[in-house]
């Protein structure tokens, strides 16, 4: 399963989520951001590649639907409601990601 994680700048939340799935035999993960200054800016190609899109906030989903209406049309997307209060790979962020993601998909061990 191909997972796309999206936040604003692709430096903390979505990048941490991508790293969580590194080496997973079950999932491929990528991450991107909705802001022009993002490390990797989300494209229609990212959306097309993904089986499921996880956004950190509702605003990310709204922005993607506005910018890529066709690509987002029948795409499965889930809002995790994780605020931008964490640093990259912060243990509390990993804990919150795992707790919210396990409701939707099988997580890698560890």
pLDDT in tens, the chain (110 residues): 999 999 999 999 999 999 999 999 999 999 999 999 999 999 999 999 999 999 999 999 999 999 999 999 999 999 999 999 999 999 999 999 999 999 999 888 76
The dihedral of CA 91, 97, 99, 102: what is its sign?
negative
At residue 96, φ and ψ (nearest 5 deg) are -65, -40
Q: Output the CA torsion 21→37→12→15 (10° steps).
A: 10
Q: Which pLDDT belongs to residue 24?
A: 93
Q: Which domains does the chain have, with CATH numbers?
A: 2-101 (3.40.50.2300)
Q: Which pLDDT belongs to residue 110?
A: 61
Residue 77, classed as helix, strand or coil, is strand
């Amino acid at each position: 399963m191909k997972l796309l994680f999206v936040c604003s700048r692709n430096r903390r939340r979505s990048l941490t989520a991508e790293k969580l799935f590194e080496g997973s035999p079950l999932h491929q993960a990528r991450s991107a951001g909705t802001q022009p200054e993002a490390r990797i800016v989300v494209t229609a190609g990212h959306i097309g590649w993904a089986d499921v899109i996880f956004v950190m906030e509702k605003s990310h989903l709204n922005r993607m639907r506005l910018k890529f209406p066709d690509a987002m049309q029948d795409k499965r997307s889930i809002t995790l409601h994780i605020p931008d209060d964490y640093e990259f790979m912060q243990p509390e962020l990993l804990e919150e990601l795992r707790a919210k993601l396990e409701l939707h998909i099988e997580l890698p061990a560890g």
